[in-house]
Amino acid sequence: MNKGHIEEREVATLPGVPVVLLLLAALGADIWWGIQVVQHSAPFVPVLLAVVLAFCWLGFFIVQPNQAAVLQFFGKFIGVERKNGLRWANPFYSKQTVTLRVRNFESGKLKVNELEGSPIEIAAVVVWQVHDAAEATFNVDNYENFVHVQSEAALRQMATSYPYDLQEEHKIALRSHSKEINQHLQEEIQERLAKAGVTVLEARVSHLAYAPEIAQAMLQRQQAAAIIAARTRIVEGAVSMVHMALEQLAQKDVVRLDEERKAAMVSNLLVVLCGERGTQPILNTGTLYN
């Protein structure tokens, strides 16, 4: 164990209901004793015992489901009680409850520069749970604030490690590989929160977009890339269709074309197949060579 590092350990406490019955019986006996003593002498001892019994009632505390009680004795860590229900411990112990329930939060929209240097907006949802009540209480000042701050720091660090869009020199991008990105984000946050006794159950990007000042320019770039990709597919298909047409004309001996006429036919077919608008045919009523 590191110096100053506190880990959770179990503490022995008593079930509350039997202690309640015992204190009630002791208080009833003390009252009866006091009545008997007051007839003969000053009831100092029964009164003192009643004060002690009343002080013992301060030892009761309640642990709800999925909660833990951290016990201290004048600043010294005693242990953690996880058993649910009414419990009793030394009245001098201070009791601090820590919830062990699953919680989540969504970070604000952070503006960071991705790997290529373009400003983007990114936000994430983090699902987390305290697994060590002692570490959450003593190793950090405010574990809830610690979770929020460190999660946003991990999100910034992760966002700078990848480009926004997939590039040839990079295998993973923020926009196209959500599973890998979320896994990296979860590992990054967990590494930072391990010292606070917190387990990160899930972390995922909830918002991802270019920053407003470059959004329009990036949209135009994406549109240009989409147009180029579509044109490439169209040209590839048109060339295949022209090649197929020439082969079938030659195989079926429909018409014999010299190289010049083949070039003209290829040009016309490419114009028809690759054009954005419908073409207007021109009928040739003469021979091919007029």
Choose the weakest-confidence range: 83-92, 167-176, 186-195: 167-176
Residue 1 pLDDT: 44
- Tokens for 231? 């044109």
- Tokens for 140? 């950090």
For residue 131, give every residue at least 6 positions away whose Cβ sits within 8 Å of its Cβ, in sequence order, or none.
Answer: 100, 197, 198, 199
For residues 136 and 197, what is the distance between their CA atoms, to the nearest angstrom?
Answer: 5
pLDDT in tens, 106-133: 998 999 988 888 889 999 999 999 999 9
* Contact in structure between 88 and 63 (CB atoms under 8 Å): no
pLDDT in tens, 197-240: 999 999 999 999 888 776 566 666 666 667 777 777 777 877 88
pLDDT exceeds 80 at position 67: yes
Q: How confident is the model at residue 58 (pLDDT cuts 50, 70, 90)?
A: very high
pLDDT in tens, 236-252: 877 888 778 777 777 77
For residues 54 and 118, what is the distance between their CA atoms, to the nearest angstrom?
Answer: 68
Average pLDDT across the chain, whole number: 84
Taking the model in full, what pTM does it have? 0.69
pLDDT exceeds 70 at position 7: yes
